Structure 1
């Protein structure tokens, strides 16, 4: 524990207060943070380190789109409000963009498109904040953040120091990064830099884009980033529920990877299995297909359920808590394991309660 009187005289944080986090997690779970502060300026970071020493744990909350929160969050909760988007440099090969961690990710994509800094359009409408994007290595419609990220600036909360991570140092994988494997409460992402390629070329690897009426059959040289942005938004809205209307955390499970022998065995039994060959010889299975074929699409378990249009999405039917969501997830995992011999891994961070 630190002595409050010995804390450095830096840009002050407001005193920790009890805050309801129900409006700050997209599952809409009732949750209270008895000790919560909001970080709005990088100058507050040293004060945050000093304050965090007074608590047994520290949890950094961004947009709340990839978490399952308990009724009460222990320790200190830090809400990230660091704003700002700017063009750092324009080179022959790229626009270098810097964004504060507290920026809305979708808002950042919109800002870039409107400014003519193309390259993020496939990642439109992904919920959450920019600072969470590297943690999860967000990806959609044929593109991953790792393909656009240049560097991350993070604050080591216990050590009280800034650390710059190159894209390589982030150790990106499928929905994975170095930040996901650090001890809880160590890193707070302050900002990220993106390298958006020049000249721009559309990324049209994803079937839903290739067959959309706006894009199907067209010469890619005539397709604009705005058209891809609009198409991605349409496709996502048609498939996925709006968290403001129906609480959800987006895709709840990762698409599992299996070796070639397991894949061949599954394909022999289920010829319509949806799978994608990987460079290392393994196969990525469509988790939504597995869950759907186990009969879970549209089903409820207590106050939680599976969305009727996308089996990867677990939803809060009203009044659900973390226990309801996790019980449903466990039942789905058990059925998929029993039928296909495949272990499904949840994407969201499950926060332990007091």
Structure 2
């Protein structure tokens, strides 16, 4: 019998700071511990919920069965080539700490993804992204435990079926538990500063040579200037995806809203800034009891203290309905609902 917590308070295990309970909870530090926990859960007939850093979930009720929290640690360089370096990290590694480690190694590729909360194992689930860069841009492969077959399977980039904030792991929740992730980073290269706020900050440095450490510092400054620290004000980061529209849809929107922010995508569609849509609808800074929209970033829903998961979802639904009525666009939430 593994030493599990019973009736565990989940407040410290989700960045929204929602207080719900798990019937059983176990922090996992190795593949062996995970396999043992899943075996025990199967023997008892417990459902299983897997958490990483809890930064991309909304817990809306009591979690029956076993909650597994991935706490495995370790990162290493697997291979050095002339132009690239292959690194590997365990699922429980803190994402931002991993980014800083790669910068200390002088590597390019993750600088735009600095300060994203969560763990390495959770990053492929959402195909995390920021400032024009996504995880899939540097992804090499990962190992995941298939809970159906009980075997460890390796996934390459194609097998992960990455898309905008999507992956096979999000499409098949609960089947796979990611164990470790490998990324291929560059020893030399170009930086990506084509998103307006980052480009302006980079131009102000007057630097002529690419420097990923400087880009990472600028990204951190931009994020800290408009995104609340979850340790101070509970939040799950960007709550809504940017809607994708065709060129025809964009043209219709621009006829009424010439300044609508939009970003071309490889498939010919455009991302429309969800934060702008929410702001234009008058929701930025709105507070309703214990929940609200952050005053500096309309994409972020916050817990002012004592909010339940359903309170967050209720606010999200009202915002989505308002944006749809005004712009005819659907807002899809990024976090996963648990409970």
Please state which band the TM-score falls in when normalised by the shorter chain. Answer: over 0.9
Instruction: Give the match for residue 328 of structure 1.
Output: 315
In structure 2, C-alpha distance between the alignment counterparts of 1:93 and 1:203, rounded to whole Å: 18
Q: Which residue of 2 aligns with 1:139?
A: 129
Q: 1: distance between equivalents of 2:37 and 2:204?
A: 48
SS at structure 2 position matched to 1:160? coil
**Root-mean-square deviation over aligned CA pairs:** 1.5
1:18 counterpart = 2:12: no
**TM-score, scaled to structure 1:** 0.92
| Paired residues for 1:181-260 under 5 Å | 181-182=171-172, 184-212=173-201, 215-219=204-208, 222-260=209-247
Which one is further off, 209-218 or 276-285?
209-218
CA distance in structure 1 between the aligned counterparts of 2:267 and 2:203, rounded to whole angstroms: 34
Tell me the distance in 2 between the aligned counterparts of 1:336 and 1:94: 44
Separation in 2 of the partners of 1:288 and 1:186?
32
Deviation at 1:17, TM superposition (A): 2.8
- 1:40 is the counterpart of 2:40: no
Question: Which stretch has the larger CA shift, 339-348 or 66-75?
Answer: 66-75
**Structure 1 residue 310 corresponds to structure 2 residue 297:** yes
Query: 1:224-246, CA deviations, whole angstroms, 9 ceiling, x for partnerless residues?
Result: 22111111111110010100111
Aligned to 1:278: 265
Which runs of no fewer than 5 residues in structure 1 stay unpaired?
1-11
Alignment partner, residue 8 of structure 1? none
Does the Cα contact within 8 Å between 1:214 and 1:231 map onto a contact in 2? no
Could you tell me which runs of 5 or more consecutive residues in structure 2 were left unpaired when the two chains were aligned. Answer: none
Aligned to 2:334: 347
Q: Which residue of 2 aligns with 1:121?
A: 111
Aligned residues: 338
Q: In 2, are the aligned partners of 1:209 and 1:215 still within 8 Å (CA)?
A: no
Offset, 1:64? 0.4
Equivalent pair of 1:48/1:157 in contact (CA under 8 Å): no
1:51 Cα offset (Å): 1.7
